[in-house]
């Protein structure tokens, strides 16, 4: 039986915007909306998306538009599937203590946007995980737009699968015990590609 709904409502391909697009019926542009909605890069949601962009930029995979519902966060031109997770010690609200660094790593049923169905198999969808830690601890000097305030930990997905199985979260200390490679932003691309190719031949 043919799925006429899918034929009538296919996947929408977003077009990359410049920010200069007019918002019809107002005196505003898309940039006005972006400034209002996304200026607080320190908020957990925006900081997480910013971390994805940092990694995409480092890997040369930032040319298109982010897709919210993809199975993984980034796919490089070479086909490396990357999952990006982020955390930080500081929050925008008043804190009595620094936040604990914990990452979510559950297996998932990947969403197939072309068919509008979830994959039957639950698994970790990427080849590589990049864990991004905004490690700065002083609110008077915090600036998530400064890459020197970030640390990156890279780990092949098969390492998570082999040792942790169905575990859903992992701490920073747990990552280090698994052998995650800590790197600064400048070394991120080399590390991701190196670990990916090493994992493929193991």
pTM here?
0.93
Task: List the pLDDT tens digit at each of the 202 positions of the chain.
Answer: 455 555 678 888 899 999 999 999 999 999 999 999 999 999 999 999 999 999 999 999 999 999 988 999 999 999 999 999 999 999 999 999 999 999 999 999 999 988 889 999 999 999 999 999 999 999 999 999 999 999 999 999 999 999 999 999 999 999 999 999 999 999 999 999 999 999 876 6
Tokens of 43: 């908020």
Helix/strand/coil percent split, the chain, to 5: 30, 25, 45
pLDDT number for residue 10: 87
Q: Quickly count: other Cβ atoms within 10 Å of residue 198's Cβ.
A: 10
Q: Are 162 and 179 in contact (CB under 8 A)?
A: no
Residue-level pLDDT at 1: 46
């Amino acid at each position: 039986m043919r799925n006429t709904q899918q034929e009538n409502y296919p996947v929408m391909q977003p077009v990359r915007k410049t920010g200069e697009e007019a918002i019809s019926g107002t005196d505003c542009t898309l940039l006005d909306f972006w400034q209002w909605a996304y200026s607080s890069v320190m908020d957990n949601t925006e900081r997480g998306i910013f971390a994805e962009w940092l990694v995409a930029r480092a890997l040369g995979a930032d040319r298109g538009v982010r897709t919210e519902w993809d199975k993984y966060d980034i796919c490089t031109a070479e086909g490396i599937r990357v999952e990006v997770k982020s955390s930080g010690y500081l929050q925008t609200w008043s804190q009595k203590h620094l936040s604990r660094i914990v990452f979510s790593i559950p297996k998932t049923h990947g969403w197939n946007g072309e068919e509008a169905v979830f994959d039957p198999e639950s698994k970790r969808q990427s080849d590589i995980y990049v864990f991004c830690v905004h490690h700065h601890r002083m609110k008077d000097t915090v600036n998530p737009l400064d890459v020197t305030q970030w640390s990156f930990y890279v780990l092949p997905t098969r390492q998570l699968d082999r040792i942790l199985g169905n575990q859903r979260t992992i701490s920073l200390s747990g990552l280090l015990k698994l052998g995650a490679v800590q790197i600064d932003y400048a070394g991120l691309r080399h590390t991701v590609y190196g670990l990916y190719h090493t994992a493929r031949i193991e």
